[in-house]
Chain A
């Protein structure tokens, strides 16, 4: 038998109940609000990542970008094509945003220019513009998209990257994970995941609006990769490399997402 020495609990008055519940609720609210504030402070003041292939972003944000890339790459398919338009819709005045690596004082002579493909064992494949133009030509009119928010329908012609790979018997290299491309002066450079590089709409372009590429658009040869933002569409390709690790990438070093895929 229980002893009855404890006093029976007094029934709380309604006012006490109100006060108690208010106290609990407001304490919880304050704790949550403080937590949210602290969380934001932590994120905002988080240290910058160690500069490497990617740089310039807060550590947790870079982590989020990389994780998000992994999630959305599951949806990537080479059967998904960028929307194309009739030629008549292509812009006459094609926008240029950047001239890093192709500045006006850096002359380029299409006659002497050679594309360098760095193969295994230090072997270098040299391809001239004439060689490339002898390959089947592919044209595309698509909506070129910039991270800054603008987009413009433009018309390009050149060699499909996958045709180029096939013709020069580089298929083995496509088993690697990345392709790196750099301007001849190595001032601008991009890294592409292999899937995006061999996407059927990825071009090594030497024409714009049916004419040879103008200098400011990357003459003599530029990359057109419609499944990426403009920042990956390197102008004036000097060299191509293949690797299993991320090649260096100009804008990924400045805080942008490495993948930047569409």
Chain B
């Protein structure tokens, strides 16, 4: 949040009228972060390395382990995702059949990778618009690249909120599975079965392995 101390540049202004300020004064004052741009930038330019490398390692892992099969949307995912949404919003009673991740998750987890790549590209376009002029051109110019970069950041906030709410709703056993990497499925009344291969035996709860 520190990085968005920016002299109130972050607002939606059309024809001189400011419709919406992303960071009004009360926002800075409540969080006690006014006038800390240099500090925010310093954090930004350290954590950009961390996030980028983390993203690269994660993608490499999914490729090497073959987990990407579970994460990339399949042909039916886009249709099923809608049904999942209706189900999660308690509008529909049943959810479509799924593997480790449901259709909505597949789309979300793939989208977040694409967003991550987008953030790196728009970030470089804003960071070095002269040296990486071709990236800036690709992003529709310096100013538009900034807007995209910021919009993607809002996207992460949205993803994060939905994600945490979903984890809470999914309950303890799901969270336990997220941490330990295996699921406990009650097969016959008392007996419990360990699902070693991390593939569902009968039915799965939402199994979010990585929290974005």
Residues of A within 8 A of B (CB): 14-15, 17-18, 21-22, 24-26, 29, 56-58, 60-62, 64-65, 68, 72, 75-77, 80-83, 143, 145, 147-151, 226-227, 251, 254-257, 261-262
Contacts and interface: CB of A to CB of B under 8 A. Distances in A.
Contacts of A147: 37, 41
Contacts of A150: 7, 9
Contacts of B42: 57-58, 61-62, 64-65, 255, 257
Contact of B128 (A60, A254, A257, A262): A262
A57 B38 contact: yes
A261 to B, nearest CB: 7
A151 B194 contact: no
Contacts of B192: 14-15, 18
B130 A18 contact: no
B41 A26 contact: no
Interface in B1-25: 6-7, 9-10
A62 B41 CA distance: 11
16 contacts: A14-B192, A26-B179, A56-B38, A60-B46, A61-B39, A61-B43, A68-B46, A68-B49, A75-B128, A145-B129, A148-B7, A149-B9, A149-B10, A150-B9, A226-B130, A262-B129
Most buried by B among A21, A56, A143, A262: A262
A255 B2 CA distance: 14
Contact of B181 (A25, A149, A226, A227): A25
Contacts of A76: 131
Contacts of B45: 64-65, 68, 257
A76 B179 CA distance: 44
A119 to B, nearest CB: 30
Interface of B: 6-7, 9-10, 37-39, 41-43, 45-46, 49, 127-133, 136, 142-143, 146, 176, 179-182, 184, 191-194
A19 to B, nearest CB: 11
Contacts of B39: 57-58, 61, 255
Contacts of A81: 130, 133
Contact of A148 (B6, B129, B181): B6
A22 B129 contact: no
A29 B130 contact: no
Nearest to A143: B142
B41 A80 contact: no
5 closest pairs, A vs B, by CB?
A255-B38, A25-B180, A149-B9, A61-B42, A149-B6
A131 to B, nearest CB: 30
